[in-house]
Amino acid sequence: MLRRALLRGALLLLAVGGLFVLWDRYGPPAPTPDMVPSVERVGHILIEKSARRLSATADGVVVFQAEIALGFEPGGDKQIEGDGKTPEGHFTINRRNPQSAFHLSLGLDYPRPEDIARAKAQGVDPGGDIFIHGQPNGLSVLTLPGDWTAGCIAVSNAEMDTLWRVVPIGTPVEIRP
């Protein structure tokens, strides 16, 4: 009897310990869209690369925040195709892709004319296809840790569902170092 109680206690400790390891590695579950204040549309998105944070505002009030993943080499401004950097500056959402390889995506108007001119002067390709997007399709529950994109801004799928609902084409996006 004592042996069974000890065995059950040990199994319970292992299970709880495993949950703490998973929590520590993957963090709390992503917020669901109903956890975000109800707004019909946001007027601005601010991405702070160093804080790994996306903030969306409506009428100057922050109505949504999310932790983000960036390009695999996030320090500095994007210069060339394949550098793994997320661009910095002022952009606009210029397209929406419901058929993305990543759970929904909102496209930024990168490269801008100044990015193209700089790259041309250097004889390089400035890159393109910068998006705010969810996780790779097939990872509906998991949120990948760390900076893993090729230069995009990634959020959880639940957070992307919320952004998809409230971010129209034409929304300004500021990306700060």
Tens digit of pLDDT at every position of the chain (177 positions): 444 433 444 444 444 344 333 334 444 444 444 445 578 999 999 999 999 999 999 999 999 999 999 999 999 999 999 999 999 999 999 999 999 999 999 999 999 999 999 999 999 999 999 999 999 998 777 889 999 999 999 999 999 999 999 999 999 999 999
Residue 159 CA: distances (Å) to CA of 11, 82, 117, 134? 35, 26, 35, 8
pTM above 0.85, yes or no: no
Confidence at residue 176, expressed as pLDDT on a 0 to 100 scale: 98
How many CA atoms, within 13 angstroms, populate the side-chain half-sphere of residue 8?
A: 5
Q: Are 54 and 46 in contact (CB under 8 A)?
A: yes
CB atoms within 10 A of CB 6: 10
Confidence at residue 36, expressed as pLDDT on a 0 to 100 scale: 52
For the question of residue 103 being annotated catalytic, the response is no
Confidence at residue 39, expressed as pLDDT on a 0 to 100 scale: 84
The active-site residue out of 44, 90, 103, 133 is 133
Q: Are 83 and 125 in contact (CB under 8 A)?
A: no
Q: Are 53 and 65 in contact (CB under 8 A)?
A: yes
For the question of residue 90 being annotated catalytic, the response is no
The active-site residue out of 44, 90, 103, 152 is 152
